[in-house]
Amino acid sequence: MAVIGVSIKLGSWRGSFGKDPRVSFSLHVETDDPLDGPLVVRSSPLVPQVGAYYAVGNEIAPEYICRTVSPKVDGNDKCFWEVDVEYELIDPKDDEEGELNPRASKRFRFDASIRLEKQVMFQDLDGTPILNTAKEEYVQPLEQSVKILVLNISRKEYANPLVRQCRFLESVNQTPFWNCQPGQVLVESYLADGEGLGNRTSGWNVKYSIAIRPKNAGRWDEIEVPSMGYNEIKDGKLKEIINPATGKTFGTEQYLDADGKWKDRLESGFQPHYTTYRIRVTENFGLLYLPNLSSLVYSQLLDEEES
């Protein structure tokens, strides 16, 4: 009385993600009992569920929601089924009642808090490297306390948020969001709770914690580190850096240029070379369909409704 095998039917894909409003494919489904009917097939966790986001194999497209699951039994073997699955692209312009991906209640609550974060400073606001008068970095890098604004939004949602949680947690805004530039906004926390019975639920109480970095604190998804080391690339090989004044190796790490060659910090106009590293993924936050807190205005009607 269960589905024991599922595979995608070759050549059954229809539609193109990102271009077509609907995409679909067919599944070969096998059950362990010829008396199993379409309800057993549709309710199996191995088969996509109506209302769920597209998540098949290594692919995820939360902007597409499963609309129909249509099982059809094989005429010769009652344990084999062909199931047509169709997904539909959710566009916020198509629904003015608020039933948007992720199908959230219009009503929400929000609050804000401030926390401090230590940040190592390699350069100032103008991009000038922070060095002592001997053009060397400080033994203990300078740190500053940065105030981080954290905005919390709570609302009821009616579509399973798990796929979005896995995708967006610890991600950074790819495009301007809430009047903030790319890289300044971080999904710091993305929690959901609710009650369920079997594989059904009455919805999720979802809370987003969105952290916003000040403009002078850099991006959430990047760090800049001065290129330093004891070796350099010379004649295409990695060799120890030799002090031309003494003919010996240096006892401390030395600056390197973009090509991995030694850079003399005593030269006129010396500027360290910084390497930028990506440490978080960027995502299109528009797919979360969060309320735009930067556009909220006071409403006397809402105020009276709450009182």
Buried b / exposed e along 38-70 (16+ C-beta atoms within 10 A)? eebbbebeebbbeebbbbeeeeebbbbbbeebe
In whole angstroms, what is the distance from residue 266 CA to residue 131 CA?
Answer: 12
How far, in Å, CA of 136 to CA of 134, rounded? 5
Q: Which residues are bridge partners to 166 per DSSP? A: none
Q: Tens digit of pLDDT for each residue in 146-193?
A: 889 999 999 999 888 888 898 899 999 998 898 888 999 999 999 999
Closest CA to 38 of 11, 72, 7: 72
Query: Residue 82 in contact with residue 47, Cβ under 8 Å?
Result: no
Does the pLDDT at position 220 exceed 60?
yes
- Name the token pair of 244: 């031309």
| 222/218: higher pLDDT | 222
Looking at per-residue confidence, does 21 or 75 come out higher? 21
Residues 292, 297, 298: CA angle, nearest 5 degrees: 140
Query: What is the structure's pLDDT at 71?
Result: 94
Indicate the pLDDT class of residue 101, thresholds 50, 70 and 90: low
* Pick from 222, 223, 229: nearest CA to 249: 229
**Lowest mean pLDDT: which of 84-93, 127-136, 204-213, 225-234?**
127-136
* Identity of the residue numbered 122: F
pLDDT at position 99 is 38
